[in-house]
């Protein structure tokens, strides 16, 4: 392995390729009594990301919670406040969605954004399904299909396959047999949020891109990096593009280069509160969580280069921590773009 000297005079192991794309992920929290400021903060953070040269900004869903419940709507707004940065969802759980209607929304926002949308999706029953099933699917709750077939339906619509057996003119109205507007290229920018070997293989076989995050299923090991590396290699082994297939890694990183003493203390306490869950697989599904990385950009870069899965990717979407203040996100994003990114060989995009 090659080594590189850092700005602080130390050395870090270096992957063979520099980081090509740098992105970030936000949950978009808000106050239930006054939700607009939280949404405005999310949009301002995305605008800041573009100004700092980030390649992508991603939003996470939170149904029936105090976070973004409609990521596609938020990204539609973001598309009109930005001109270059790519906009993604990480991820939309399809159990809450009708694939045909979602395909229309995604295509519309992709057109409005000028082809910058990166939809990330996943499958499975909605969280706490037993409590929401009657509101979500009052007549079909027992027969809804939450398998990969739901993704296949969405992919077919986004990629321009027929959604109707009729096209032509009826009276004064003209009808299409496929989703409109059709956005060429969107089908190649569909991402699957996978945490298991099965999901990684399925995403590869269906020529999707892979979003891998700070949560994986402990199937072959209890070492997070080893598990994630295995999933990435499984995905690429089954993808038509092989080693060139796109993978984005999402870990929680909190650089402290320009942070105040108070911010550093808060960040360290936040990470410490979440560290116990990283010691062993959690719950019946045996989910493994990655440690949050807190420290100087040079320290974080060293930890990333030592991470076996990080060395397999050339793009990331670092997750912003939950429940911090807007000023904290400004500091963290600024340090990621101006300190950590360069440590990883990344260069900011030009506006």
Structural domains in the chain (count): 1
Phi, psi for 157 (deg, rounded to 5): -70, -45
pLDDT tens digits along 85-141: 999 999 999 999 999 999 999 999 999 999 999 999 999 999 999 999 999 999 999
pLDDT (0 to 100) of residue 14: 53
> Are the C-beta atoms of residues 242 and 207 closer than 8 Å to each other?
no
Reported confidence tier of residue 201, pLDDT bands at 50, 70, 90? very high
Rounded CA gap, 137 and 157, in Å?
22
Q: In terms of residue numbers, what domain contains 211?
A: 2-343
> Are the C-beta atoms of residues 11 and 2 closer than 8 Å to each other?
no
- Could you tell me the two tokens for 290? 């990655």
Phi, psi for 31 (deg, rounded to 5): -85, 125
Q: What is the residue-averaged pLDDT of the chain?
A: 95
Quick one: CA torsion of 102, 103, 104, 105, rounded to 10 degrees?
Answer: 50
> Are the C-beta atoms of residues 47 and 13 closer than 8 Å to each other?
no
pLDDT(252) > 80:
yes
Question: Is 8 within the bounds of a domain?
Answer: yes
pLDDT (0 to 100) of residue 1: 40
pLDDT(7) > 60:
no
pLDDT (0 to 100) of residue 3: 46
SS3 state at 7: coil
> Stretch 161-187: mean pLDDT, rounded?
97
Q: For residues 351 and 33, which has the higher predicted lDDT (pLDDT)?
A: 33
Question: Is 54 within the bounds of a domain?
Answer: yes
Question: Is 187 within the bounds of a domain?
Answer: yes
Rounded CA gap, 5 and 245, in Å?
30
pLDDT (0 to 100) of residue 15: 52
Question: Is 239 within the bounds of a domain?
Answer: yes
pLDDT (0 to 100) of residue 17: 78
Question: Is 350 within the bounds of a domain?
Answer: no
Residue 338 has what DSSP assignment? I
Q: 302-336: b or e for each residue (b if 16 or more CB lie within 10 Å)?
A: bbbbebebbbbbbbbbbbbbeebeeebbbbbbbbb
* Among the listed residues 317, 87, 113, the one whose alpha carbon sits nearest the alpha carbon of residue 214: 317
Rounded CA gap, 74 and 72, in Å?
5
User: Quick one: what percent of the chain has pLDDT higher than 70?
Assistant: 95
User: Quick one: what percent of the chain has pLDDT higher than 90?
Assistant: 93
pLDDT (0 to 100) of residue 35: 97
Question: Is 34 within the bounds of a domain?
Answer: yes
pLDDT (0 to 100) of residue 351: 55
pLDDT (0 to 100) of residue 2: 47
Q: β-strands 86-93, 56-59: how paired?
A: parallel
Q: β-strands 2-5, 11-14: how paired?
A: antiparallel
pTM of the prediction? 0.94
pLDDT (0 to 100) of residue 349: 86
Question: Is 234 within the bounds of a domain?
Answer: yes
Question: Is 135 within the bounds of a domain?
Answer: yes
Name the percent of the chain in helix, strand, coil, to the closest 5: 40, 20, 40
State the CATH number of the domain containing residue 136. Answer: 3.20.20.30
CB atoms within 10 A of CB 338: 16
> Are the C-beta atoms of residues 304 and 296 closer than 8 Å to each other?
no
Burial group, residue 129, by CB count within 10 angstroms (0-12, 13-18, 19+): middle
């Amino acid at each position: 392995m090659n080594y590189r000297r850092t700005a602080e005079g130390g050395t870090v192991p270096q992957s063979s390729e520099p980081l090509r794309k740098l992105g970030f992920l936000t949950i978009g929290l808000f106050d239930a009594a006054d939700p607009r400021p939280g949404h405005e903060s999310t949009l301002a953070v995305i605008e800041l990301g573009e100004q700092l040269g980030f390649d992508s900004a991603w939003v996470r869903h939170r149904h029936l919670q105090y976070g973004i419940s409609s990521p596609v709507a938020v990204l539609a707004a973001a598309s009109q406040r930005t001109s270059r940065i790519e906009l993604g969802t990480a991820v939309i759980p399809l159990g809450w969605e009708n694939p045909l209607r979602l395909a229309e929304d995604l295509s519309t926002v992709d057109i409005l954004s000028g082809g910058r949308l990166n939809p990330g999706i996943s499958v499975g029953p909605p969280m706490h399904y037993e409590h929401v099933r009657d509101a979500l699917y009052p007549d079909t709750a027992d027969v809804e299909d939450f398998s990969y077939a739901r993704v296949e339906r969405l992919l077919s619509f986004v990629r321009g396959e027929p959604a109707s057996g009729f096209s032509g003119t009826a009276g004064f109205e003209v009808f299409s047999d496929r989703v409109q507007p059709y956005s060429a290229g969107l089908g190649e920018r569909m991402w699957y949020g996978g945490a298991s070997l099965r999901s990684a293989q399925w995403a590869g076989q269906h020529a999707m891109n892979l979003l891998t995050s700070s949560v994986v299923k402990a199937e072959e090991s209890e070492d997070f990096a080893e598990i994630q590396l295995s999933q990435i290699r499984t995905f690429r082994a089954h993808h038509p593009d092989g080693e060139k297939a796109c993978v984005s890694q999402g870990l929680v990183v909190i650089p402290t280069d320009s942070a105040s003493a108070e911010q550093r203390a808060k960040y360290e306490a936040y990470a410490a509160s979440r560290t116990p869950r990283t010691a062993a697989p959690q719950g019946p599904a045996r989910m493994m969580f990655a440690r949050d990385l807190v420290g100087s950009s040079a320290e974080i870069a060293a930890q990333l280069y030592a991470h076996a899965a990080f060395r397999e990717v050339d793009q990331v979407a670092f997750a912003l921590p939950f429940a911090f203040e807007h000023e904290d996100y400004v500091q963290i994003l600024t340090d990621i773009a101006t300190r950590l990114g360069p440590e990883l060989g990344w260069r900011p995009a030009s506006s």
